[in-house]
Amino acid sequence: MIKVLVNGALGRMGRTVVAAVKADADLELVGMVDAFAGEVDGMKVETNLDAALKKFSPEVMVDFTRPDVVFQNVLTALANKVSPVVGTTGLSDDAKEKIREAAEKNQTPAFIAPNFALGAVLMMLTAQKIAKYMPDVEIIELHHDKKLDAPSGTAELTAKMIAEVRPSHKQGHPEEVENLPHVRGADFDGIKIHSVRLPGYVAHQEVIFGGLGQTLTIRHDSTGRDSFMPGVVLACKKVRNLRGLTIGLDKLLD
């Protein structure tokens, strides 16, 4: 069995991860950490990550915490030769590069996924394929109003994947004017990204392609946090067989 510690265990995602780990026959929940003390199903939740990693000696740490602390959490795990499986988004490219260096230095693999829902991964792969033939595209991502970062990691990764296969170009009228700042959304290599934050949503994304006389839209909806759990469990089982830093659940699919 693979020994797993869940960081951020008292959060909405953390509690769902705890339940998923406990339900899987190949995983063993050995410890939980959160910024606040507490317990889940009679099991104590620790507040000091470094001390908990040393105490429980897990092989894998699952992190669903906050963008402002996840980077240090990952470095702490790698320093203890524990493989981080990270679902917290908001890491900069510089932070990811430093994580890659730490993973290689400590000879401990690390894994980051902007989205653990298998359907979302398939949406991104499909969007990349479509973009070869319909290069004019915009992305709309919709999340709950408690999400701290924008755009979502999924939207950013989708844009990066599309940018790999399409020429960079400005979309819309060459002389268009924004009468309200940023009304056309963020710009990633010519791809517009729009972020919606409202109560009632969980995690959703539309990728809209436009061509001569036609449009094509693909959409993924996570209606509950349990949609992410098969991907989290898969990452826990495969991360120790990786090397360095791996980004994206698509890298784990056959």
Cα-Cα-Cα-Cα dihedral of 142, 21, 105, 113, to 10°? -20
For position 158, what pLDDT does the model report?
A: 96
65 and 94 inside one domain: yes
The pLDDT-based confidence of 148 (bands split at 50, 70, 90) is confident
User: Is 173 an annotated catalytic residue?
Assistant: no
In the prediction, which pLDDT does 155 show? 96
The pLDDT of residue 129 is above 80: yes
Cβ 30 vs Cβ 242: under 8 Å: no
Instruction: Kindly state whether residues 28 and 103 are assigned to the same domain.
Output: yes
pLDDT of residue 88: 84
Catalytic residue, from 44, 55, 143, 170: name it: 143
Q: Are 101 and 155 within one domain?
A: no
Clarify whether residues 192 and 217 are in a common domain: yes
For 16-57, the pLDDT digits (tens) are 999 999 999 999 999 999 999 998 888 999 999 999 999 999
The mean pLDDT of 100-125, rounded to a whole number, is: 95
Question: In this predicted structure, which of 77-81, 124-128, 223-227 has the lowest mean pLDDT?
Answer: 223-227
Residue 192 a catalytic site member: no
The number of beta carbons lying within 10 Å of the beta carbon of residue 19 is 16
Examine the domain organization and report whether 216 and 155 are in the same domain: yes
126 and 207 fall within a common domain: yes
Taking residue 92's Cβ as centre, other Cβ atoms within 10 Å add up to 10
Residues 69 and 166 in one domain: no
Quickly list DSSP for the chain. -EEEEEETTTSHHHHHHHHHHHH-TTEEEEEEE-SS-EEETTEEEBS-HHHHHHHH--SEEEE---TTTHHHHHHHHHHTT-EEEE------HHHHHHHHHHHHHTT--EEE-S---HHHHHHHHHHHHHHTT--EEEEEEEE-TT--SSS-HHHHHHHHHHHTTS-----S-TT---SSTTTT-EEETTEEEEEEE-TT--EEEEEEEEETTEEEEEEEEE-SGGGGHHHHHHHHHHGGGS-SEEE-GGGG--
Does residue 253 have a pLDDT over 90?
Answer: no
Do 6 and 105 sit in the same domain of this protein? yes
Cβ atoms within 10 Å, residue 23? 11
User: Residue 187 is part of a domain; what is its CATH number?
Assistant: 3.30.360.10
* Average pLDDT, rounded, for the chain: 95
Domain shared by 94 and 157, yes or no = no
42-49, Cβ contacts within 8 angstroms, sequence gap of 24 or more: 45/9, 45/10, 49/7, 49/73, 49/76, 49/77
Catalytic entry in 3, 55, 144, 147: 147
Find the CATH number of the domain harbouring 17: 3.40.50.720
With a CB cutoff of 8 Å and minimum separation 6, the contacts of 134 are 209, 210, 211, 216
- pTM given for the model: 0.82
Q: What percent of the chain has pLDDT over 70?
A: 100
Is 122 found in the same domain as 107? no
Question: Residue 122 sits in which domain range?
Answer: 118-223
Quote the pLDDT of residue 41: 87
User: Residue 254 pLDDT > 80, yes or no?
Assistant: no
Mean pLDDT over 105-116 rounds to 95
My answer on whether 127 and 38 are in the same domain is: no
Q: Quote the percentage of the chain above a pLDDT of 90.
A: 87
User: How many angstroms separate the CA atoms of 131 and 149, rounded?
Assistant: 26
Q: Are residues 65 and 90 located together in one domain of the fold?
A: yes
- The domain total for the chain is 2
